């Protein structure tokens, strides 16, 4: 269970979400997170960060497809699509949606893959991944937004100049705490060396490739990556919700992932959304499956060692 503590709400938010205060807490969160986004957008603009110029837009459109999974948060999914198009107008966006009321977005650049209700994150991402035709993809969650510091074109150049790297993760700025994204990633993800994985990392955990890029066994779940590299790993369809750690566990020794300091993706997951949280916290079957999978892996490894 310790590997998935990040997936579990605090007791405080659980109590608020289950109480009569839930509607007020949810509304307050939405308002504050909106103000957070506007504040940091203005701050970045004052600091000299600009939106992509036409050369970067054309560069990204030619090489990148955005993918994300949507479930029961139609407003968020639509807001993210508009955010992507405001930074990179004309770029292809593929959304896998398994909401009870199907997601509908009008746009020439969007493809929505409708799935049976509550199919799950992993299966949805695999469907979206299969539809990607560009050499690179950006994987996001539907509760994220681009910022002036996402700098996708810059990170795309980095990947093209570093063939040994498969994936570049962006640093999330999470409402309403809004901790320094660089420091948050270095502290929160420093512990994920993936030493428990069956294969060693190709480049040691926390190796600095330059002043901005640090190799990590597990990075934030918003990233730019080589499409073919992600297709080698994919997501386990049997895992409905807690796919993040499992993906990087299987990627260890196959892919090289780095986090890019100085980049920012805005993250505004509303923990007081009672309806959504009831599904998000339904993870017991995932935990049982993952435990059984690990036991089987260890047994196979032991058998292999005996044969050798």
**pLDDT tens digit string along 214-250?**
999 999 999 999 999 999 999 999 999 999 999 999 9
Cα 87 → chain centroid:
18
Give the pLDDT score at 4: 38
Residue 219, C-beta contacts closer than 8 angstroms, at least 6 positions apart = 167, 169, 185, 189, 248, 257, 258, 259
Residue 1 clears pLDDT 50, i.e. is over it: no
Residue 260 clears pLDDT 90, i.e. is over it: yes
Average pLDDT over residues 161-178: 95
Nearest-angstrom CA–CA distance, 260 and 257: 10
Lowest mean pLDDT among 8-12, 189-193, 196-200, 272-276: 8-12
Local confidence band at 18 (pLDDT 50, 70, 90 cut-offs): confident
Give the pLDDT score at 17: 84
Local confidence band at 49 (pLDDT 50, 70, 90 cut-offs): very high
Residue 8 clears pLDDT 90, i.e. is over it: no
Local confidence band at 308 (pLDDT 50, 70, 90 cut-offs): low
Give the pLDDT score at 44: 98
pLDDT digits (tens, 9 = 90+) for 175-209: 988 899 999 999 999 999 999 999 999 999 999 99
Give the pLDDT score at 3: 38
Nearest-angstrom CA–CA distance, 190 and 188: 6
Say what the pTM is: 0.93
DSSP string, the chain: -GGGGGGSPPHHHHHHHTSTTHHHHHHHHHHHHHHHHHHHHHHHHHTT-----HHHHHHHHHHEEEEEEE-S-HHHHHHHHHHHHHHSTT-EEEEEE--SS------TTEEEEE-STT--HHHHHHHHHHT--SSEEEEEETTEEE-TT--HHHHHHHHHH-TT--EEEPPEEETTT---HHHHHHHHSTT---TTSSS--SS-TT-BSSSSEEE-SS--S-EEEEHHHHHHH---TT-SS--HHHHHHHHTTT--EEEETT--EEE---TT-HHHHHHHT--HHHHHHHHHHHHHHHHHHHHHHHH-
Give the pLDDT score at 80: 98
Average pLDDT over residues 56-72: 98
Local confidence band at 298 (pLDDT 50, 70, 90 cut-offs): confident
Structure tokens at 59: 């560069």
Residue 9 clears pLDDT 80, i.e. is over it: no
């Amino acid at each position: 269970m310790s590997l998935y503590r990040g997936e579990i709400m605090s007791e405080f938010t659980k109590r608020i979400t289950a109480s009569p205060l839930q509607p007020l807490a949810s509304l307050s969160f939405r308002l504050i997170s909106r103000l957070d986004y506007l504040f940091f957008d203005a701050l970045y603009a004052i600091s000299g960060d600009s939106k992509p110029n036409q050369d970067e837009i054309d560069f990204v459109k030619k090489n990148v497809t955005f993918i994300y999974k949507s479930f029961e948060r139609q407003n968020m999914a639509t807001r993210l699509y508009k955010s992507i198009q405001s930074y990179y107008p004309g770029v292809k966006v593929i959304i896998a949606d398994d909401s009870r009321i199907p997601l509908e977005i009008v746009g020439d650049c969007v493809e929505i893959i409708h799935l049976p209700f509550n199919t799950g994150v992993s299966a949805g991402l695999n469907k979206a991944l299969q539809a990607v035709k560009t050499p690179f993809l950006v994987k996001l969650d539907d509760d994220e937004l681009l910022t002036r510091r996402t700098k996708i074109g810059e990170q795309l150049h980095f990947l093209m100049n570093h063939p040994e790297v498969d994936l570049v993760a962006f640093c999330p700025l999470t409402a309403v705490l809004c901790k320094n994204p660089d420091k948050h990633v270095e502290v929160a993800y420093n512990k994920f060396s993936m030493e428990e994985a069956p294969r060693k990392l190709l480049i040691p955990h926390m190796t600095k490739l330059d002043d901005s890029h640090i190799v990590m066994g597990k990075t934030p779940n918003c990233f730019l990556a080589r499409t073919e590299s992600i297709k080698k790993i994919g997501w386990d369809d049997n895992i409905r919700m807690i796919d993040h750690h499992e993906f990087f566990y299987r990627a260890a020794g196959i892919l090289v992932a780095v986090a890019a300091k100085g980049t920012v993706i805005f993250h505004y997951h509303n923990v007081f959304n009672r309806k959504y949280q009831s599904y998000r916290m339904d993870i017991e079957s995932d935990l049982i499956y993952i435990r059984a999978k690990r036991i089987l892996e260890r047994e196979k490894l032991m058998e292999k060692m005996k044969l050798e």
